[in-house]
Structure 1
Amino acid sequence: MWYVLQHAEWEGPGIIAEALAAHAIRFEIVRLDRGAAVPKASNLDGLVVMGGPMGVYEAADYPFLAAEQKLIASCVAGGRAVLGVCLGAQLLAAALGAPVIKGPQMEAGEGSVVLTGSGRQDPVLGGGKGELPVVHWHQDTFPLPQEATLLACSRLYEQQAFRLARTVYGLQFHLELSREQADDWRNRGLTITREYEQRVRAVGERVFDNFIHLAVAGG
């Protein structure tokens, strides 16, 4: 069983759920924003941690954040697949010992990331162009966790994607938007044209399929 940890109504798994279903993987969406408990590491085969409006440093207001960090650390130590998106990537970085702070500038809407040399060779993010269309929606940032490999950067923030071992990935940006999510985010003020949405989705479908295939194969 895989678990998808969701922190906000508008930050669901989108096409990640479609990719899991396409690989016939059983998964459960855990709505932490609705009071669901953080699952135990012993009960899962893979973990996806989604974004959210809160910061890692706000654990006093959102107690589940500390429990999530412990779960992520247990999954990493146990060799389980972990994918963190936006807040999920920040929680992963924190679980690996990196401090998460509020950055100097909001990064939101249409954007791109440039793959590093390691990113271009990466089995999940690589295999396409060296610059990927993405959607940004964050301000928090972090230094690269110890022993992690930097995979992608943007003009505003260096840490956009990183990998630890073979199946632990943090993505600061968003590739998971379904049609409904993209419509919702536009209504919330983000600039995402329909054409750009389709470009991002094409990249997301490839990236998430690569990640799940790698995870199922055992890295």
Structure 2
Amino acid sequence: MQFLIDSANLAEVEEAFRLPFVQGVTTNTREVAYHGGADLKGYLSELRRIARGTIHIQVTSADTDTMIREGRALTKAVDDIRIKMPVTANGLAAMQVLASEGIEVAATAVNTVAMGVLAAKMGAASVISYFGALADFEEDAGDLLAATKAAFTAYGFPTEVYFFAKNAKQVKMGIQAGADACLMPLAGLKSLLDHPLSTREVEFMNAEWERVYGSIRWDEVV
């Protein structure tokens, strides 16, 4: 299971990569519109500088030819990038062309098993489900991830299943479904490290140590 920061805010991305388990970053057109500024080329360069792992950038167009041009241009401009594209007729056509050229593509907003299979058939490296939003009103949101993963296995697709989650409960559901990667906002990633019982137990154990040994640390005695 990989964990990726879902944000186009450079300050948030930089903070997220202080967490050792964060392995990549996903953005979307709305987020970049909020945070990209006037110099988009410079923005991409700075994002690449501060981010570890793969960067996901979404195309801005709806027609096949323009999506292909955007995907090619972004791949030349940024190392280790995956192009996010919608599962539309035009998007699928663009995926097929880009994938045939060795360009990695992520199908975004994949919220049915059929959409996932169609994207996989076109060569998508990954599909992204907005699982966190689906889980708000669909009881079987976890089934979507498991069924998509099972379909890829059954048909021999190497495509990975990614999902967006908002909290630890949704992360647990994604893990149980066998998803390959979880996308979260910064607050969500940080919340994975917090549990009241864990904090209380560690504080109790350390208090007992300090009661007996004070401020002595292992590196001072071994």
Indicate the TM-score class for this superposition, using the shorter chain for normalisation: 0.3 to 0.5
Q: Which structure's residues are more often helix, by fraction?
A: 2
Q: Which structure's residues are more often strand, by fraction?
A: 1
Considering Cα pairs closer than 8 Å and 6+ residues apart, tell me whether 1 or 2 has the greater RCO. Answer: 1
